Amino acid sequence: MSLAVGKGLVDINETDFVDASGALEKWEHWPASTISHHGEACCRIAREWVFSTDYAQLGGGSVLTGPRWVRHRYPWGPSRWPIHWCEAVQQKSLDCGALAALSHEVFRARGVRSFPAQFIQQFTEDATRDWQSRWAEEQTPADWIRDDLIYHEGCAVVTAGQEIKVWDSTAAWWVNSKQFGGYHGVLALRIFDAEAGPETVYRWDTHSIVPNVWQKIERARGDFAQGARASAGEAVEELPPAPHRRQATT
């Protein structure tokens, strides 16, 4: 199926999707999550606390270090929306949208160009049924689930020129650009860049990413083992590799 970019989609090969058209249609008009601000001292203090904590956690490291402390402090779980800064910092858990929005703001506070990112990922219907039950227990909508597919959020950061990396704020890792499908596979990606021009294209490794539209992430081809080793290296890219031993995965 070929849809014009101007209408919000790019070329999609449906053979690599499970109910691709239904998933893309369901989440086509979903905006990226944002943390609201009361315009009062409560949210100003909470916001500055997040940035101060990140500064301390970073400890002089690279500004492109993933803010894993956000996920460690706030386990993944249902959130009620809208959510304000002063409310978010007091939660015992946060959903993917809140975790992504916090991480996005943290990167921006570091001076990094960051864009909200949305994913469509594949899991299993057993897994999604469990998540639906958990959200139902909290009386929170689970519209982010469709059969074995889920809507997910993270952020994309510019590393140099038009090159980007994609941060999964819930998994607390950099998403591997080599996707092989199956459980936890990224099927489609959309990043939001309000300043993008008609010719703007970002590069995520071998993928050309047009901002503000959903587009398919092509599956990696060739040697699966080589791709798996690349994934392991990317997951721990902030740590120096140890000689003569296999690197650990996240």
pLDDT tens for 184-212 read 999 999 999 999 999 999 999 999 999 99
Answer whether residue 172 is part of any domain: yes
Answer whether residue 242 is part of any domain: no
Give the model's pLDDT for residue 78.
Answer: 98
> How many Å is the maximal CA-CA distance in the chain?
55
Give the model's pLDDT for residue 250.
Answer: 32
Give the chain's radius of gyration (CA, Å): 18
Residue 121: name the closest of 96, 86, 88 by CA: 96
Answer whether residue 161 is part of any domain: yes
Answer whether residue 243 is part of any domain: no
Give the model's pLDDT for residue 56.
Answer: 98
Whether 35 contacts 105, CB under 8 Å = yes
Could you list the residue range(s) of the whole structural domain that residue 210 is in? 5-235
Given a cut of 90, is residue 233 above it in pLDDT?
A: no
Q: pLDDT band at 94, cuts 50/70/90?
A: very high
Give the model's pLDDT for residue 53.
Answer: 98
Answer whether residue 104 is part of any domain: yes
Question: Structural domain tally of the chain?
Answer: 1
Answer whether residue 245 is part of any domain: no
Answer whether residue 191 is part of any domain: yes
Give the model's pLDDT for residue 142.
Answer: 97
DSSP β-bridge partners for residue 151 = 120
Question: Percentage of residues in the chain with pLDDT exceeding 70?
Answer: 80
Q: Across the chain, what does the average pLDDT equal?
A: 85
Among 104-108, 137-141, 175-179, 235-239, which stretch is predicted with the lowest mean pLDDT?
235-239
CATH number at residue 106: 3.10.620
The structure tokens listed for 160 are 């140099």
Among 121-135, 201-215, 221-235, which stretch is predicted with the lowest mean pLDDT?
221-235
Task: Give the CB-side neighbour count of residue 235, counting CA atoms within 13 A.
Answer: 14
Among 2-6, 74-78, 109-113, which stretch is predicted with the lowest mean pLDDT?
2-6
pTM here is 0.82
Answer whether residue 147 is part of any domain: yes
The structure tokens listed for 49 are 């606390």
